[in-house]
């Protein structure tokens, strides 16, 4: 890494940490009902409850909370699917785009509802303005709000004692959307418009050719509003096929930095909000430090690899025969308004979070960069991860870690005043293992069928394309490695199933944990209690995440990017 890239990484970490601190306090006040924003938004919140028939004082047991989550998301899949299939007959379609094909409509519906935002289509040539707004952008808000709501339910499991309820899903969903996501998205969208991102109802603009030889058209639309929430909600689905590499989504170095910060901002702030809500601020800081320790090394590997010339370029003697400066790094598949280091940092952020947006094409990255991005996803999306889902995923690993530590010292494991017994350990193990098993089964299915014909490359690189796609789907990331035709029946259907399993195979055990923990008595701290906010436990938690990730991914990585690098 160069000195400039090191300074850039440090500046990114510092800016994100400084912004997360006040936001974490605000998030805690939103969900305990003490925020001053209720003076302005309270009447609208109450009106929404009246319209929806919601009893905001109802305290749901975990199974009712889970039922509400599943029913709401199933309804979302149906609505998004139907809007796509009826697109050709609906208004708000200035480019007269036809209905979306059934496999792609299914894949997209599940993708956006599960906060994955995998796109087996080109945005500007497939979705009308109406479908982009009512289907995709709405799900960008409510899928992110669902993740936050489930985390808040788990927080109540730790903070309550001998209680039967974990909160009200409809209240948590409303507050996450109304008080957090909508205001932040409005501010972000205005900044993007200021920097040149389009926000218009027009379908295209006419432009003159640079050589003066004719005219053409460029697709536009309500871009800024979708880009703002796709980053803040760790959604990642692009308005354009090129995603955040497109100059209409990410036009300047300033938007590149701000969007990269936005990807990780709410997941980072939720760690600090968690500490406030359970009355253990040091614990929230410990979880945030854990995320940084998992993120920074992999991001550094990606930046370092992309700053190096490709082997083919490095092998050329500097005799002036080839006018390429190897010091510029690996520039294939990258926008020239961004440096290789900026592309490497974005790749780390987007795969550490379940975001999936890209400002460069990952298929063109160095093999070890590809390995680092797959690893960040395959760790379970807990190095920040999705909005809400990243922290509740990390808490599953924390339960596994305290259980292992309890076995080592011969004591009943405890986490934040709650005993961790066999039932909690089974639920945590289920949530940790479901995405890992799903991605490996998906890769095995792809390898054992004729899906190699859909690949852009053969050999180790082709295997990496399949491994990346299934890892992205099962862990609800949504980024694509490229070189893979994913709109066919096999990929569209299989990935849709994996996205659903990856979301609800973790979410439902988390809600079961919330209910189990809320019913438990609080255990007093004694001299034998393992402090879970100490550097020692942070190191043990990092080791636990890495160990599970290594057991899942190392054999597959050895067949793909590692073999290619060698």
Strand partners, 217: 206
- Phi (first) and psi of residue 355, to 5 degrees: -95, -65
3-state secondary structure of 29: helix
8 A C-beta contact, residue 453 and residue 475: no
What pTM did the predictor assign?
Answer: 0.95
Identify the CA nearest to 96 among candidates 105, 109, 87, 108: 87
pLDDT tens-digit readout, 292-337: 999 999 999 999 999 987 777 766 655 555 555 556 788 888 988 8
What is the rounded CA–CA span in Å between residue 471 and residue 502? 10
Q: What are the C-alpha distances in Å from 255 to residues 222, 252, 301, 326, 342? A: 17, 5, 24, 27, 12
The reported pLDDT for the residue numbered 390 is 95
Q: What is the 3-state secondary structure (H, E, C) of 491-508?
A: HHHHHHHHHHHHHHHHHH
**DSSP symbol at 204:** E
Identify the CA nearest to 377 among candidates 344, 349, 342: 349
No. of helices (H) and no. of strands (E), the chain:
21, 4
Identify the CA nearest to 274 among candidates 285, 265, 262: 285
Q: What is the CA radius of gyration of the chain?
A: 23
Strand runs (DSSP E) across 90-158, as ranges? none
| pLDDT lower than 70: segments of the chain | 213, 314-327, 450-453
What is the rounded CA–CA span in Å between residue 270 and residue 16? 12
The reported pLDDT for the residue numbered 315 is 65
Identify the CA nearest to 151 among candidates 172, 171, 132: 172
Tokens of 293: 């320790």
pLDDT tens-digit readout, 132-163: 999 999 999 999 999 999 999 999 999 999 99
CA atoms 241, 247, 252, 255: torsion sign: negative
435: number of Cβ within 10 Å? 27
- Phi (first) and psi of residue 219, to 5 degrees: -70, 135
Q: What are the C-alpha distances in Å from 128 to residues 84, 96, 159, 220? A: 9, 8, 45, 11
What is the rounded CA–CA span in Å between residue 342 and residue 360? 10
- 53-60: long-range contacts, CB 8 A cutoff, minimum separation 24: 54/168, 54/170, 54/171, 54/174, 55/168, 56/168, 56/170, 56/171, 57/168, 58/168, 59/163, 59/164, 59/165, 59/166, 59/167, 59/168, 60/165, 60/166, 60/167, 60/168, 60/169
What is the rounded CA–CA span in Å between residue 104 and residue 509? 29
């Amino acid at each position: 890494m160069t000195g400039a890239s090191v300074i850039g990484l440090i500046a990114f970490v510092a800016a994100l940490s400084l912004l997360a601190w006040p936001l974490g306090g605000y998030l805690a006040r939103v969900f305990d009902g003490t925020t001053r924003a209720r003076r302005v938004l309270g009447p609208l919140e109450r009106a929404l409850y009246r319209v929806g028939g919601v009893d905001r004082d109802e305290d749901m047991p975990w199974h009712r909370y889970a039922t509400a989550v599943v029913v709401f998301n199933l309804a979302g899949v149906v609505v998004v699917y139907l809007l796509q299939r009826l697109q050709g007959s609906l208004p708000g379609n200035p480019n007269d785009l036809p209905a979306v094909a059934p496999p792609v409509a299914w894949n997209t519906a599940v993708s956006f509802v599960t906060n994955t935002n995998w796109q087996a289509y080109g945005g500007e040539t497939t979705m009308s303005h109406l479908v982009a707004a009512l289907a995709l952008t709405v799900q960008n808000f409510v899928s992110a709000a669902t993740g936050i709501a489930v985390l808040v339910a788990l927080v109540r499991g730790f903070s309550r004692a001998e209680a039967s309820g974990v909160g009200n899903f409809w209240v948590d969903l409303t507050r996450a959307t109304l008080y957090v996501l909508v205001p932040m998205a409005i501010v972000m969208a205005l900044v993007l418009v200021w920097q040149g991102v389009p926000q218009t109802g027009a379908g295209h603009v006419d432009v003159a050719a640079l050589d003066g030889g004719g005219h053409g058209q460029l697709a536009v639309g309500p871009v800024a509003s979708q880009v703002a929430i796709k980053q803040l909600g760790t959604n990642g689905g692009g308005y354009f096929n090129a995603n955040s590499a497109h100059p209409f989504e990410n036009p300047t170095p300033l938007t590149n930095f701000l969007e990269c910060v936005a990807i990780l901002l709410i997941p980072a702030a939720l760690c600090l909000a968690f500490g406030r809500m359970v009355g253990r601020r040091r614990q929230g800081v410990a979880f945030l430090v854990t995320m940084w320790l998992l993120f920074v090394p992999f991001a550094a590997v990606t930046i370092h690899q992309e700053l190096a010339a490709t082997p083919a370029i490095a092998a050329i003697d500097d005799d002036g025969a080839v006018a390429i400066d190897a010091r510029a790094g690996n520039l294939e598949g990258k926008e020239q308004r961004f440096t290789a280091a900026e592309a490497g940092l974005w790749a780390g952020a987007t795969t550490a979070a379940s975001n999936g947006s890209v400002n460069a094409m990952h298929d063109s990255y160095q093999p070890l960069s590809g390995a680092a991005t797959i690893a960040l996803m395959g760790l379970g999306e807990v190095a920040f991860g999705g909005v809400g889902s990243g922290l509740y995923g990390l808490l599953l690993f924390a339960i596994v870690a305290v259980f292992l530590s309890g076995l080592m010292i011969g004591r009943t494991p405890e986490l934040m005043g709650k005993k961790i017994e066999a039932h909690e350990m089974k639920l945590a193990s289920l949530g940790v293992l479901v995405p890992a098993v799903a991605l490996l089964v998906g890769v095995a299915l792809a390898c054992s069928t004729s899906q190699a014909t859909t690949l852009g490359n053969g050999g180790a690189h082709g295997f990496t394309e399949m491994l990346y796609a299934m890892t992205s789907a099962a862990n609800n990331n949504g980024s694509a490695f490229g070189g893979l035709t994913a709109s066919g029946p096999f990929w569209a259907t299989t990935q849709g199933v994996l996205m659903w399993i990856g979301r609800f195979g973790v979410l439902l055990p988390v809600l079961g944990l919330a209910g189990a923990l809320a019913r438990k008595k609080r255990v007093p701290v004694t001299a034998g209690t393992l402090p879970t906010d100490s550097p020692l436990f942070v190191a043990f938690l990092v080791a636990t995440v890495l160990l599970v990730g290594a057991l899942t991914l190392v054999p597959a990585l050895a067949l793909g990017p590692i073999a290619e690098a060698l």
